[in-house]
Structure 1
Amino acid sequence: MDNCFHRVICIVVFVIVTVHTSGQGFLKANRKNIVNEKGQPVLLRSMGLGGWLLQEGYMFHLGNIGTQYRIRESIADVVGEERTKQFYEMWLTNHTTKADIDSLAAWGFNSIRLPLHYNLFTLPVEKEPVTGQQTWLEKGFAITDSVLNWCRSNEMYLILDMHATPGGQGNDLNISDRDAGKPSLWESEANRQKLIALWAQLAKRYANEPWIGGYDIINEPNWGFEDSTDKRGTKEKKNVPLRQLLVDVTNTIRAVDTKHLIIIEGNGFGNNYNGIFPLWDNNLVLSFHKYGNFNYKANIQNFLNFRDAYNIPVWLGESGENSNTWFTECISLVEENGIGWAWWPGKKMGINNPMEIKVPEGYDQLLNYWKGKGAKPDSATAWKTLQQLLSYVKVQNNIIHRDVLDAMFRQVQVNTTLPFTKHIIGKGTTLLPAVEFDLGKQGRAYYDKDSASYHFTPNVHTQGNRGYTFRNDGVDIQRNDAGMCVFSIEDGEWLQYTIQAKVAGKYQIGFKTAAENEAGELSLQVNEKWLVNNLTLPVTGNRLNYTTTWVKNIVLPAGETRLKILACKGGFNLQSIAFVKE
């Protein structure tokens, strides 16, 4: 992490901590706000630790397998049951550690949302030795204790999120590791009683722990109670079974714990609150989830109305999985309306989270076999790949995406830009990679016509970053045999770079580009003055066949200089910018 970025993040962390978590103690609902024991509003900025206690296939390029129990079966198929047990023990040990929580605290998060899988705490109903009784497993409680200790040492709140309920809470099987061949949470009284009993155990254990921020009772219910064809639960008008279970769990918790917030989620993945009101407890928080729609106030107005009508705090309990532009806009929207948030997830294989898990060697062979497109790897080869994955999930081996963190914190507060890294222009030839444009908002550090994905908005088909590599900004970045480049450049798009020239004077500047069919054109701005206009870029016949186009007599001052490269006519790839002192 370069020094200028680290200084800014530290400043942001200081502001967050002093403004929003000073005066510790139990969180509680005070009319429309979450407050601490001194009555000071607390804006929860949380990270959800997805993929750890509950694996979802998409996080590991296993979307075709989906649920954790099927991922486990697939691993056992290639390495055997004993090594599979060993794999999952090491997964729980390696994936998230104190170092992860320390890092998240340093980056600006003041709370953690911990997704729980019920099977780490108790047996499935069908495996109980005595029907109707509950067997308790120490593993889940011990892990939760550890995370609580890590949070406490960082003065962060820990929110317990029941992500996988007994039987599973919906038709989206992956988020709850649900086996559709068995009764769901809603089809089994035994499953419901197990969930209630588990919350009683958790509440009893943590009743007097102030760094537990709250209990998120059921993550993202998605079930058609009245209409079984309503697979997402978005059309349900009454939600009677959901409301009753929320009330029952609340009563069970309150029998042993009267201090902690209880967080409720509606049907339809947390957003359908039909029939859930009136409220039944004076220390509730209403959670909603937001993905892939426009960041307009109209798209959260329903929840603002609930807050006003029922005098209840509202929390964006889960969001993410988009571009940096979308992240900044979404967080700005909710914070401007006094709403905290929880992002999802902290790490996975992919660029749109703070931490990226690298893909192990040989992983493609496993994926191809599991997809039915390749031969089964031998056990030794598969085990070697899985062991490397166990190493790569550790935070010290993750790729840290500074651009994501900058978008989530600094860019929410200010419009200024920062260098992605230091670019010192000295003697000889200096190369500036095109992908190292400045950190900052869309329209400040760069402009891209398609900067975010709105996949849940009808008839809107944007993608954001089409290359899904290196950075999570709207700019399209591609990695191929020729290296990394900015590609899919459209007319009017631009990139800004901050450089440091050691010596003032005239420079030659070269633009390394490739264009398949038509010549592109670019213009160059230096410190807000256009010095090159409509420079023609040659057709190279192949997007991997690069050539450098030079311009002379470009005067650069000593010290910091900002360059803007504008695509007057797009259709070319830009790999690098070269500087040579004349």
Structure 2
Amino acid sequence: MKKPLRMILCFALAAALALPLSAPPAAAAAKPAGAVGFTADDYLTVNNRELVNRRGEKVKLKGANLGAWLIMEDWLCPYEEVGDNYELLETLIARFGVQKAYELMNTYEDNFITAYDLDQIAAMGFNCVRVPFWYRNFYYDDNGSKILDSNGDWDFSRLDWVVRECSARRIYVILDMHGAPGFQSDAPHSGKADSNGLFAKTPQGERYRELTDELWTAIAARFRGNPAVAMYDLLNEPCCDMPVTELQRRIYNEGIYKRLYKTVRAADEDHIITLECIWTPLALPQVRTHNWQNVVYQVHFYNNSDFIFAAFLLLTRLYHPGIPLMMGEFYPLGRTTWKGCFRTMENLGFSWMLWTYKGAGHLMWESDWCLKGSKDGFERAKIKTDPFAEIARKWGAYLRTENGYTDTGHYRNNVEAFLG
């Protein structure tokens, strides 16, 4: 970097760090008298660098991820003996058959997040949740065998429930494809480690992309016009952990996002679409390159100092100056502080989503990775050796937040002051 540019960036960064917290932008408007949940006037769209509802009010989203609910990660979820969600599900299918395996998964999902949790989130003052899901919530296998409901229709009841219940509490929902068919990264949080078949230039890779198109088409058509849905999050952290250069990451991202943007817009012209560039703002093109409309760019960052966090966000704002930005996941590692993160996001106008609301693991009961942590002595399901009934018990009522989890203190100590 040439010296003048370096000096300009340093001055701008210092300003981002030094500015006092500005008055918070208007959050979702107060519930009108006699109204039930969101109305058409609460529908969000993009207006330059802001999110606005149809009353013209600016809305800054401040929320939490519902991680570990519809897609599982070993460090956040009560299971052992397998590494990732794909291995977990395939092991259950091999042991108990498809129907019984999904019976166990339904038991888990019925209990991990309930109406009680959404009440807690609303009471804390959050106005949004990001809902990570993966393709196996809707397909039995990698071949596109749809999971059907009792009427013989493709089963989206889990998403229907969370959108409906959040709407009743005036909480917006971001629908996040955390794990696409074929997988979009080598990271296990996509559902399967070391697997990025979504990008493969093979007939099988194209089949994965077709299934991803099919799934997003169905979701977008289902929630078209629904004001509780803030936006569609097309892919979580594409190319994460893949051995690629930043240029290659940009090429992969741009190609798949061009396709999925077109897919969603064919089914839903109006909802916001959010695209993730995760580690650097260079991993996505500027919006005007493709004339993408009603788009929010999203970053995720886990860093080691307030200075690096602020520099990263400032670079993102400078590189993408004309659109709303959102921190979809973050956590202050090393010397980074929660106060520093929140201050920078407020000053640079970012919406944000905590990672995450709830987690099960050793010392989670006092961890600031989550708002609700498993109590000391929690039980993990042994996926390869526990009998069916034992897994069902461990994933039953005790999995509910009010039974087996505790307040970690994270909300009170680090978050509450920044929700005003």
Specify if TM > 0.5: yes
Greater relative CO (CA pairs within 8 A, separation 6+): 2
- The CA distance in 2 between the partners of 1:202 and 1:261, in whole Å, is 13
Q: Does 1:194 align with 2:211?
A: yes
Partner of 2:232: 215
Structure 1, unmatched stretches of 5+, are 1-14, 129-134, 224-229, 371-375, 415-582
**Which letter does structure 1 place at the counterpart of 2:28?**
T
Amino acid aligned to 2:136: N
The answer to whether the 8 A contact 2:373-2:407 is kept is yes
Q: How does 1:52-451 map to 2 (within 5 A)?
A: 52-60=69-77, 65-73=82-90, 80-81=96-97, 84-126=101-143, 128=145, 135=146, 137-138=148-149, 141-172=156-187, 174-178=188-192, 180=194, 184-187=197-200, 188-222=205-239, 231=242, 233=244, 235-237=246-248, 239-266=250-277, 269=278, 271=280, 273-274=282-283, 276-277=285-286, 278-296=289-307, 297-308=310-321, 311-320=322-331, 326-349=337-360, 350=364, 351-352=367-368, 353-358=370-375, 363=380, 379=386, 383-384=389-390, 387-401=393-407, 403-412=409-418
Shift of 1:51: 0.7
Task: Rate the CA distance shift 1:264–1:361 in 2: closer, same or farther, 3 A.
Answer: closer
- Paired residue type of 1:295: D
> Hey, what does 2:29 align to over in structure 1?
22
Change (3 A) 1:335 1:145: same
Task: Report how far residue 180 of structure 1 moved.
Answer: 4.6
What is the alpha-carbon root mean square deviation over aligned residues? 3.2
In structure 1, C-alpha distance between the alignment counterparts of 2:269 and 2:100, rounded to whole Å: 44
Cα separation, 2, equivalents of 1:216 and 1:165: 12
**What's the CA shift string for 1:89-136, capped at 9, x where partnerless?**
2111111111111110111110110111112223544355xxxxxx46
Whole-angstrom distance in 1 between the partners of 2:100 and 2:139: 23
Amino acid at match of 2:133: L
Q: CA deviation at 1:359?
A: 5.5
Separation in 1 of the partners of 2:50 and 2:379?
Answer: 50
User: Is the alpha carbon distance of 1:324 and 1:150 closer, same or farther for their aligned partners in structure 2, counting shifts above 3 Å?
Assistant: farther
Change (3 A) 1:208 1:295: same
Q: CA deviation at 1:178?
A: 2.3
The answer on whether the counterparts of 1:360 and 1:388 sit within 8 Å (CA) in structure 2 is no
Secondary structure of the corresponding residue to residue 226 of structure 2: coil
Amino acid at match of 2:330: S
- Letter matched to residue 264 of structure 1: L
Give the conservation status (yes or no) of the 8 Å contact 1:236–1:272. Answer: no
Q: For residues 40 and 398 of structure 1, do their structure 2 counterparts lie closer, same or farther at Cα, with a shift above 3 Å needed?
A: farther
- Decide whether aligned partners of structure 1 residues 341 and 141 sit closer, same or farther in structure 2, where only a CA change above 3 A counts: same
8 A Cα contact 1:120 1:137, kept in partner: no
Question: SS state of the match for residue 131, structure 2?
Answer: strand
Equivalent pair of 1:319/1:343 in contact (CA under 8 Å): yes
Aligned-partner SS, 1:273: helix
Q: Secondary structure at the match of 1:196?
A: helix
Return the letter of the residue paired with 2:324. Answer: P
Residues 166-223 of structure 1: CA deviation (Å, up to 9, x unaligned): 0100111x11112657x71111011111111211111111111011100000000126
Q: CA deviation at 1:45?
A: 0.8
Percentage of identical aligned residues? 23
Q: Quote the offset at 1:231 in angstroms.
A: 2.2
- In 2, are the aligned partners of 1:361 and 1:385 still within 8 Å (CA)? no
SS, match of residue 100 in structure 1 = helix
Question: What is the SS of the residue equivalent to 1:38?
Answer: coil
Query: Is the Cα contact below 8 Å between 2:127 and 2:171 reproduced in 1?
Result: yes
Equivalent residue number for residue 13 of structure 2: none
Alignment of structure 1 residues 5-16 onto 2, 5 Å: none
Amino acid at match of 1:164: G
Which whole-Å CA distance do the structure 2 matches of 1:231 and 1:323 have between them? 24
Describe the superposition over 1:358-414 as per-residue Cα deviations: whole angstroms up to 9, x where unpaired. 365664xx77xx8xxxxx96x56x844651343332121143326211234333379
Q: Secondary structure at the residue paired with 2:259?
A: helix
SS of residue matched to 1:114: strand
Please list the CA deviations of residues 224-254 of structure 1 after superposition, one character each: whole Å capped at 9, or x if unmatched: xxxxxx8254533562232122122112222
TM-score normalized by the length of structure 1: 0.57
Between structures 1 and 2, the one with greater strand share: 1
Q: Does the CA-based 8 Å contact 1:216-1:262 persist in structure 2?
A: yes
Question: Higher helix proportion, which one?
Answer: 2
Q: For residues 474-532 of structure 1, what are the alpha-carbon distances to aligned partners after superposition, in whole Å with 9 as ceiling and x for unaligned?
A: xxxxxxxxxxxxxxxxxxxxxxxxxxxxxxxxxxxxxxxxxxxxxxxxxxxxxxxxxxx
Equivalent residue pairs, number: 369
Q: Which SS does the other structure have where 1:239 is aligned? A: helix
TM-score by length of 2: 0.78
Paired residues of 1:125 and 1:190 also in contact (CA < 8 A): no
